[in-house]
Amino acid sequence: MNLDLRGIENIGDLERERVVVRATQDVDIGDFAIFKCRKSADGGVASGHVPDAYWFPDRTIKSGDFVVLYTKKGTASEKKGETGSTTYFYYWGWARSQWSDHIAALVHTAAWDFWPEPK
């Protein structure tokens, strides 16, 4: 996969809680989503229990760039780093912390289908 899920930081602190992802190759982040998953008994993903997902907008980013998905409300932005990489900031729009009892799964969504088809 061309993105690496680095972790969830500041769990329980709505203002700072965020999922951090890093590009390992140039990639369109619109081909990826973060699933908010219920935990299984062993701490993994409880199969079939995905109450919410955040699908990133189409945007090509470069290897070494970061994508930060904040739990809170906000406006998407980007910031160039001193090393030349860019960090892209996105906001899920929640009014409370989400990651205390859930885990994140980074999913490659490049191939998908939907129903009903548009008329």
Token couple for 68: 């930060």
* Residue 17 pLDDT grade (very low, low, confident, very high; cuts 50, 70, 90): very high
Task: Please give the Cα distance from 40 to 27 (Å, whole number).
Answer: 30
In the chain the domains, ranked by start, together with CATH numbers, are 3-108 (2.60.40)
Query: pLDDT for 33-66, tens place per residue?
Result: 999 998 878 877 777 777 799 999 999 999 999 9
pLDDT of 9 strictly over 90: yes
* β-pair partners for 39: 45
Would the CA dihedral through 9, 54, 50, 73 be positive or negative?
positive
| Residue of 54, 60, 49, 77 lying closest to 26 (CA atoms) | 60
Do the Cβ atoms of 90 and 1 come closer than 8 Å?
no
Over residues 73-116, the pLDDT tens digits come to: 999 999 999 999 999 999 999 999 999 989 999 999 978 777 78
**What's the whole-model pTM score?**
0.90
Q: What is d(CA 104, CA 101) in angstroms, rounded to the nearest whole number?
A: 10
